[in-house]
Chains A and B, each alone.
Chain A
Amino acid sequence: MNVRSIREALAEALDAEGYRFYDTIPASAQLPCASVLWPETIEYHQDAADGSMITLTVTVAVAVTDFAKAQKDIDAAISWPGFGSQLEALDSAAWDQVVVTSASNIRTMAEPKALAADFNVNVYAP
């Protein structure tokens, strides 16, 4: 399991889905954007070949230049299918499976002016 490879593969996949990727969302982010934060927990020794389960948060932010549109965008992102199902469909050699367990912390951001939501994700990696 390589954390860097997982974060880079997620970044590449999110970029392909149309989200500008940042390690953390900066004040002048180009929207819509996504960030993959450092893992909250990494559970090692999940199998005899040292597989791991990584729990991390993916934050999605959409622009609020038009607030009605921003609400629709974030509603679409947190719906199912939505951004979560897009994440689960991602394929990479860096992981066996991505499972989105929940979305939370839906909020307005001052800088950048955005609506954002956190997706709580388990990544099962060999």
Chain B
Amino acid sequence: MADYVQLRFNLAVAPAGEATASVSNSCSEFRIVTQREGVTVPANGGTGRGSTAAGVINEQLVITLKSGIKAADFLSMLREIILTDDAEMDFTGTFDPGLVSDDNPEFSGTAVLLNVEIGGTVGGLRGQTITCPITEAGIAVSTTP
């Protein structure tokens, strides 16, 4: 059976160096983005054609969250993280809820939290989408539970 539709996922987050805790019930989007910068290669006399080569790797963690403002809510943790010196948070997650396996790899890493918003529009959900660059260590992928 195909599984194209993103439904439940597991995502756990914590200030860097601490044990992660699940925030799945606060999140509606979990995405890992890997990008390469394009390096322009000028045309040469032989071909007369310019080209683009793959440059440095940039990775990002994207989360859309809804959250209350109580002490135990995800937003309180994010506020705590962004006010630390490095504003780094550890995360680990799978894109399906089952056990970690070849078909359900676990992605983990450390992300830099650059923006946290509190509140929302009257009548709307409190929450936001945050895009966090991954630190130099990059994303680790595990297929063993």
Which residues of chain A have a CB within 8 Å of any CB of chain B?
45-51, 99, 101, 126
Contact = CB atoms under 8 A, between A and B. Distances in A.
Contacts of B9: 48
A98 to B, nearest CB: 13
B76 interface: no
Which 10 A-B pairs have CB atoms at the shortest separation, nearest pair first? A49-B25, A48-B24, A48-B9, A49-B24, A47-B28, A48-B27, A48-B8, A47-B25, A50-B8, A45-B7
A101 B10 CA distance: 32
A48 B25 contact: yes
Nearest to B127: A47
Contacts of B25: 47-49, 51, 126
Interface string B1-42: 000000111110000000000001111101000000000000
A91 B123 CA distance: 19
8 contacts: A45-B7, A47-B66, A48-B9, A48-B24, A48-B27, A49-B8, A49-B24, A101-B123
B10 A48 contact: yes
B87 to A, nearest CB: 23
Contact of B27 (A47, A99, A101): A47
Given A47-B26, A47-B66, A48-B28, 15 more contacts: A45-B7, A46-B28, A47-B24, A47-B28, A48-B8, A48-B9, A48-B25, A48-B27, A48-B30, A49-B8, A49-B25, A50-B7, A51-B25, A101-B123, A126-B25
Contacts of A47: 24-28, 66
A46 B7 CA distance: 9
B93 to A, nearest CB: 9
Contacts of B28: 46-48
A126 B25 CA distance: 7
A48 B23 CA distance: 9
A32 B28 CA distance: 40
A51 B27 CA distance: 10
Contacts of A51: 25
